[in-house]
Structure 1
Amino acid sequence: MDSLTQIALGSSVAALAVPAAHRRAALLAGAALGTLPDLDVLWFKLAGSDAVTEVTWHRGPSHSLLVLAALGWLLWRLAKKRSQLVRQAPRPWLWAIWLALLTHPLLDAFTVYGTQLLWPLPMPPVMWSSIFIIDPLYTLPLLAGVIAAWRLSPRATQAALHDDSRTIAARRWLLAGLLASSVYLGWSVAAKLWVDRAASQSLAAMGLQNAPRLSMPLPLNTMLWRVIAMTPDGYWIGDRSLLDGAAMTFTFHASDNRALAQLASEPKVQRLLWFTNGFVGAQPQQRDGQQRLILSDLRMGLEPDYFFRYDIAGMDAQGQWTPAPEITRVSGPHSRTIPLGWVWRRIFDSRAAAPLP
């Protein structure tokens, strides 16, 4: 999820874990800890990492529940030596630190990007894909609770003079924000199951009941969803609003899976296939006068303008695909994002035309 959401979530859970007199300090600490795992992107930039490493190792060790649990304990030990507040309430502060750190990757796992929750165990990234990476209806209740709690909570030096009713109100605001956002997250899972059911019925009618498929919400909502179904020669894409009445329809897009299979043993290509769980398309494309093979991550973006696209190979004089010396990210042919106006129209109208390339 976006940084603001993680800050609000980290602040909320940390502030609820500590005594009322420590609440403001916990709001600040939770905000810092809640966004800490995403700072791995700075390391990749400073280290000059290649495109595949940067994308597939983000949400890796820094988002592992095993790593963060150990890191949280170490931070707590350090804080006990330096902070009087932590020494006053050591166990609540340990829970505050753990909750602020561990809720970050757990929330990220509900998005489609993929989170390596149990790194270094050899398992693919977790992508429950029930919520978009930015969703105001999830974030705003948390943010309202944090702002209210900050205004209602005392500074540590003023705790003895503070009105108990304000302290109780601060806690209630935090609980209400966390409850509302959690209910919305649960709703997103229910909506996904509803869409999966509609997709299953349509794909079965097409003879694709066993095709690997993935459903995900389109930007900023949980009312409009996209479903991708993979086949040996390409992939089918369909959109589904929870307000649609008719059967779900899909559109086919070809993919050069034979060329991709020839390159699948290349370590970087193999890494991308693992990271995306195979939800990719491969299309030959002319670039700078050369025939190149472009790998698209189908989980994010519009056909054919996906956000993550990689130049993985070039065609030699004998017509064979040769792996690229270094895989690089390339921009889409139109460099566009999903138009929010179309998303809104499509929620209410199944006939709303998809955006043209």
Structure 2
Amino acid sequence: MDSVTQLVTGALLAAAVVPAKHRRAALWAGAALGTLPDLDVLPLSLLNDDPVLKMTAHRSITHSLLILPWVATLIWWWCKRSNGRVAEAPKAWWWAIFLGLINHPLLDCFNAYGTWLFWPLGEEAIMWGNMFVIDPLFTLPLLLGFVWIAIKPLSRYTGKVMYGAIGLSVLYFAWSLAAQMWVMHKVDAQLAELGLEDAPRLVTATPFNTLVWQVIVMQPDGVLSGSYSISQDAADAPIALQHTASDAAVLTKIPDNVALQRLRRFNQGYFIAHEQDGQLIISDVRMGRAPHYTFNFAIARLHNGVWQELSPPVQIQDRPDVKKEWGYLQQRLWGGSVPVPEGNTP
């Protein structure tokens, strides 16, 4: 999730478990702890120039549920020695520090980007996809609760505001999971009718909402993608799936390509490959909408008929028309004619 969401969630969770007189101190401590895991981007950016490594190494060691409890305990131990509040209520403050840290990787699992939650065990990122990276309806109650506690004198209303803000966001989270499961059930039924019941598929939230869902279905020769709008599409209406081709054959020619191996582990096969200007481009299909995907990397160059590894790989920017994409989203949310995505209908 975005940094603001992680900050205010960590802040309110920490404030919720300490004694009432410690709430404001815990609020600021939780805010700092909620942003701490993402500081791994600093050494990753400063110590290497490989964009694939930067992306795939992020959300790993600093987001691991096997590492963060030890980090929380170390911070708690140090604070207990030098901070009177922590020594005064040590158990409550351990939970405050733990929740302030642990909320970050758990929030990151909500979106399709994924988090290596159990690093170093396995290599599979956890990606629920039930919310977009930024979702105002989830964040707004938490933000308002944070501002209230930060600027208002502590009173009998402080706890009600705090727990109310957390409760509203939890309810929205539960709604997002229920909506995703409903759309996933519909997708499963449609793919079974098409004979694609074994095809890997994802159902992920689209920007800023949980009413319009992106559907991604991987095929040996590319990806089928489309969307379903809870607010606009009939419950029994089939989802229009558009095909975007992938040059899967070329991948067999570069089995030892380091960037390809890293990307394949990171995105779990949700990518397409194509040649552009003598370069092999890998596009992660989980973020963005065909044909404009957010993460694209040139990983190899064709030289004298042979694919040679690019070291380091090159990130390719493919920026969509923001006005067009916003219009598409508004049409899928509120109605009107819907532009047909580029690609071929299967």
TM-score exceeds 0.5: yes
Aligned to 1:213: 201
Structure 1: distance between partners of 2:299 and 2:48: 19
Structure 2, unmatched stretches of 5+, are none
- Which amino acid in 2 is paired with 1:12? L
Aligned to 2:149: 149
Conserved? CA contact 2:41–2:54, under 8 Å = yes
Q: Identity of counterpart residues, as a percentage?
A: 41
Conserved? CA contact 1:142–1:178, under 8 Å = yes
- Residue of 160, 174, 184 corresponding to 1:196: 184
Conserved? CA contact 1:339–1:355, under 8 Å = no
Structure 1: distance between partners of 2:82 and 2:68: 21
What's the offset of the Cα at 1:57? 0.9
Aligned to 1:25: 25
- Which amino acid in 2 is paired with 1:295? I
Conserved? CA contact 2:242–2:341, under 8 Å = no
Residues 245-291 of structure 1 show CA distances to partners (whole Å, capped at 9, x for unaligned) of 121110111100111232243222111001001000101111xxxx1
| TM-score for the superposition, normalised by structure 1 | 0.91
Residues 156-176 of structure 1 show CA distances to partners (whole Å, capped at 9, x for unaligned) of xxxxxxxxxx2x310111111
What's the offset of the Cα at 1:13? 0.5
1:270 counterpart = 2:261: yes
Structure 2: distance between partners of 1:127 and 1:263: 27
Structure 2: distance between partners of 1:248 and 1:355: 13
Aligned to 2:281: 294
What's the offset of the Cα at 1:348? 3.3
Residues 37-79 of structure 1 show CA distances to partners (whole Å, capped at 9, x for unaligned) of 1111112122134111100011110101111100000000110
- Which amino acid in 2 is paired with 1:112? A
- Residue of 289, 311, 315 corresponding to 2:302: 315
Count of aligned pairs: 339
Question: Matched residue of 1:230: which SS?
Answer: strand
Aligned to 1:179: 167
- Which amino acid in 2 is paired with 1:82? S
Shift in CA distance, 339/117, structure 1 to aligned 2, threshold 3 Å = same
- Which amino acid in 1 is paired with 2:199? A
Aligned to 1:329: 315
- Residue of 266, 270, 273 corresponding to 1:282: 273
Conserved? CA contact 2:201–2:217, under 8 Å = yes
Question: Matched residue of 1:307: which SS?
Answer: strand
Conserved? CA contact 1:135–1:220, under 8 Å = yes
Aligned to 1:63: 63
Aligned to 1:353: 339
Residues 232-256 of structure 1 show CA distances to partners (whole Å, capped at 9, x for unaligned) of 1111111111131121110111100
Conserved? CA contact 1:24–1:153, under 8 Å = no
Structure 2: distance between partners of 1:65 and 1:275: 18
Shift in CA distance, 242/235, structure 1 to aligned 2, threshold 3 Å = same
Structure 1: distance between partners of 2:170 and 2:326: 25
Structure 2: distance between partners of 1:59 and 1:149: 30
Structure 1: distance between partners of 2:333 and 2:52: 34
- Which amino acid in 2 is paired with 1:192? Q
1:238 counterpart = 2:226: yes
Conserved? CA contact 1:137–1:184, under 8 Å = yes
Question: Matched residue of 2:98: which SS?
Answer: helix
Structure 1: distance between partners of 2:53 and 2:70: 24
Structure 1: distance between partners of 2:252 and 2:192: 27
Shift in CA distance, 241/350, structure 1 to aligned 2, threshold 3 Å = farther
Structure 1: distance between partners of 2:252 and 2:9: 42
Conserved? CA contact 1:20–1:153, under 8 Å = no
RMSD value over aligned CA atoms?
Answer: 1.7
Structure 2: distance between partners of 1:270 and 1:356: 29
Conserved? CA contact 2:201–2:216, under 8 Å = yes
After TM superposition, the structure 1 stretch with the greater mean CA deviation from structure 2, 322-331 or 251-260, is: 322-331
- Which amino acid in 2 is paired with 1:205? E
Question: Matched residue of 2:191: which SS?
Answer: helix
- Which amino acid in 1 is paired with 2:299? I
Structure 1: distance between partners of 2:172 and 2:220: 36
Aligned to 1:81: 81
Structure 1, unmatched stretches of 5+, are 155-165
After TM superposition, the structure 1 stretch with the greater mean CA deviation from structure 2, 125-134 or 334-343, is: 334-343
What's the offset of the Cα at 1:230? 0.8
Structure 2: distance between partners of 1:67 and 1:153: 36
